[in-house]
Amino acid sequence: MSIESPDPKVIVALDFPDPGDALSFARRLSPGSCRLKVGFELFVSGGPALVESLQEAGFEVFLDLKFHDIPNTVASACRAAARQGVWMMNVHASGGRRMLEAAREAVNSEIHRPLLIAVTVLTSMDAGDLAELGYQGEVSALAESLAGLARDGGLDGVVCSAQEAPLLRARSGPGFLLVTPGIRPASAAGDDQRRVMTPADAMRSGASYLVVGRPVTRAEDPVAALEEINADVRAALQSP
């Protein structure tokens, strides 16, 4: 039996190409056991109507569109997302201070104010990938720098690897949100994520929320898979 929570820590990534399939899958889950993430592909195919359908089913939605453009354009996009009533949304921290501040001011101006977080370094990237882009430092150093930029810009938190979570938690304190993708139960494959961690280890490392996709969406029994992850999270939160 699943245990409901007023603040579910797991965000299930609805990485489906078809809106109907995504909505059908979501209805197998309970809003008290998770939030849901809508990313590029699903939003392009399903649009705001899909987000509204998920909300009508009782779910809070993380709109994962990673806005990255000139400040005015990003501000306009953030206002539009806020008006959809989403729970959380994100931008790229690498867009710079002016863009981050414009995004913050945009969501602050709306009646419904979603959580606003910034992407630091994608969990699919490692030091070799960054070197190809001209960055010679460690991944953790870049993530720390971008997280500091987001924090100073007044955002609620960042998307980061759970491997960087202890450092960012120490730097940013308890109130700054750390949303960690690349979460895989010990029995699951890593897929295309390179910087991954188990649910319990991620929570112990300082994560606020965990983004989980294929270990739930491709499981034979998604409800049982989600409950196993939630059990790991509860155990981690209850441990000293």
Say whether 204 counts as a known binding-site residue: no
Say whether 213 counts as a known binding-site residue: yes
> Does residue 232 carry a catalytic annotation?
no
Identity of residue 179? V
Say whether 92 counts as a known binding-site residue: no
Say whether 185 counts as a known binding-site residue: no
> Does residue 66 carry a catalytic annotation?
yes
Say whether 85 counts as a known binding-site residue: no
Per-residue b or e along 117-139, where b marks 16 or more CB atoms closer than 10 Å to that residue's CB: bbbbbbbebeeeebeeeeeeeeb
The strand ranges marked E within the chain are 10-13, 35-38, 61-67, 88-92, 115-119, 157-159, 177-180, 209-212
Say whether 71 counts as a known binding-site residue: yes
What CA–CA distance (Å, rounded) separates 85 from 63? 10
Say whether 73 counts as a known binding-site residue: yes
Say whether 64 counts as a known binding-site residue: yes
Within 13 Å and on the Cβ side, how many CA atoms surround 201?
14
What CA–CA distance (Å, rounded) separates 186 from 232? 11
> Does residue 191 carry a catalytic annotation?
no
Phi, psi of 143 (to 5 degrees): -60, -40
What CA–CA distance (Å, rounded) separates 223 from 16? 17
* Residues 52, 30, 220, 191, CA torsion sign: positive
Q: Of 9, 18, 64, 232, which is the active-site residue?
A: 64
Q: Of 7, 9, 18, 66, which is the active-site residue?
A: 66
Say whether 9 counts as a known binding-site residue: no
Say whether 69 counts as a known binding-site residue: yes
Please, which residues bridge with residue 42 across strands?
A: none
Say whether 129 counts as a known binding-site residue: no
Say whether 72 counts as a known binding-site residue: yes
Q: Of 9, 21, 69, 126, which is the active-site residue?
A: 69
List residues forming the annotated binding site: 15, 37, 64-73, 123, 184, 193, 213-214
Which residues are identified as catalytic? Answer: 64, 66, 69
Indicate the annotated binding residues for substrate. 15, 37, 64-73, 123, 184, 193, 213-214
